Amino acid sequence: MVTSSICQERVWFISGTSSGLGRALAEAVLEKGEAVVLTARNPQKVEELAAKFPDRALVVQLDVTKPKEVQDAVKQAIDYFGHIDVLVNNAGCKIVGLIEELSDSEVRRQFDTNFFGVLETLRAVVPHMRKQRKGHILNISSMASFMAEPGGGFYIASKLALEGLSGTLHYELQPFGIKVIIVEPGNFLTNFPVSSIFVNDTQIEEEEYKAFINDRRNEVSERGMERSRLDEPGDPKKAALAMIKIVDSEHPIVRLALGTDAIESINYGLEYIKRDLDAWKELSISTDCDEVVANKT
């Protein structure tokens, strides 16, 4: 379907809008009066929301691990609205398992969703934003980027890769008026633990390893059955409003932490790195060439 005229409202393209932060953000944007491309692997899950805003919502099937679906989804969005102003790479999953044990296919599944799916979407959308000479890109990372969680190594690695990509993209797209923002949420009361975290059994007969995996499985199970503000203190609606506010800002920051737990985890991670950096500073600088040392003195 092609609209007869270019949509005048700001258009958001959000991946993973069937639940969680993606759903909360889509609802907040639509209620604000702007337009949203509601993407989901199962489009039926967002049709009810789209029906409430028939002139400003477009439902598109999208599995970010399938490049053709990414290209088709972006084309549908451009054909329908005429432009994309805000891209939110929100779709993601978490595969829990031991670094020693997870199979190559499981590792690829993790990166295909959290990293390569984002990369594919960026490559499809950025050319349109460059032509516009404006736009915003929000890449949803995690406070886990500053943590080391047993069993979560590949999830963390995928988010760290996304952070590195996003930081560079921020500078590359500055000349085109495109803002790139890394969003680092803490724990929010969504169905992410139930629908998007997959815990693998360990086959290695080591009690220490089994303890790690059992702890992760119990954590996911408890959050699925007895989720509370103590375990997941974040309010998805407030997170959505915060993301809208940063996009509305004339000078948005590069990193946006969401939640008290995110602030605490990121601060702890930075302090941990700084502590080791300071403790071994003399050894670190001792590796400079003699000529460099002489110039400094």
- Indicate yes or no: pTM above 0.85: yes
Rounded distance between C-alpha atoms, residue 168 and residue 172, angstroms:
6
Domain total in the chain: 1
Rounded distance between C-alpha atoms, residue 42 and residue 17, angstroms:
10
- Domain presence at residue 107: yes
- Residue 285: the pLDDT is 94
- Domain presence at residue 289: no
- Domain presence at residue 293: no
Kindly name the residue from 141, 142, 145, 265 that is annotated as catalytic: 141
Write the CATH number for 33: 3.40.50.720
CA 216, chain centre distance (Å): 21
Kindly name the residue from 15, 18, 145, 265 that is annotated as catalytic: 18
Inter-residue contact 262 to 186 (CB < 8 Å): yes
- Domain presence at residue 294: no
Helix or strand (DSSP H, E) at 211: helix 207-225
Residue 57: closest CA among 75, 33, 74, 41: 33
- Residue 193: the pLDDT is 52
19 is catalytic: no
Q: What is the domain range of residue 130?
A: 11-281
80 is catalytic: no
159 is catalytic: yes
In this structure, the chain runs to a length of 297
Inter-residue contact 37 to 11 (CB < 8 Å): yes
Kindly name the residue from 159, 166, 179, 265 that is annotated as catalytic: 159
Kindly name the residue from 19, 155, 158, 265 that is annotated as catalytic: 155
- Domain presence at residue 137: yes
Query: Token digits for 86?
Result: 């805000």
- Residue 295: the pLDDT is 85
141 is catalytic: yes
What string of pLDDT tens digits covers the 297 residues of the chain?
445 345 778 999 999 999 999 999 999 999 999 999 999 999 999 999 999 999 999 999 999 999 999 999 999 999 999 999 999 999 999 998 899 999 999 999 999 999 999 999 999 999 999 999 999 999 999 999 998 888 899 999 999 999 999 999 999 999 999 999 999 999 987 665 555 677 777 778 888 888 888 877 777 665 554 544 456 678 999 999 999 999 999 999 999 999 999 999 999 999 999 999 999 999 999 999 988 888 887
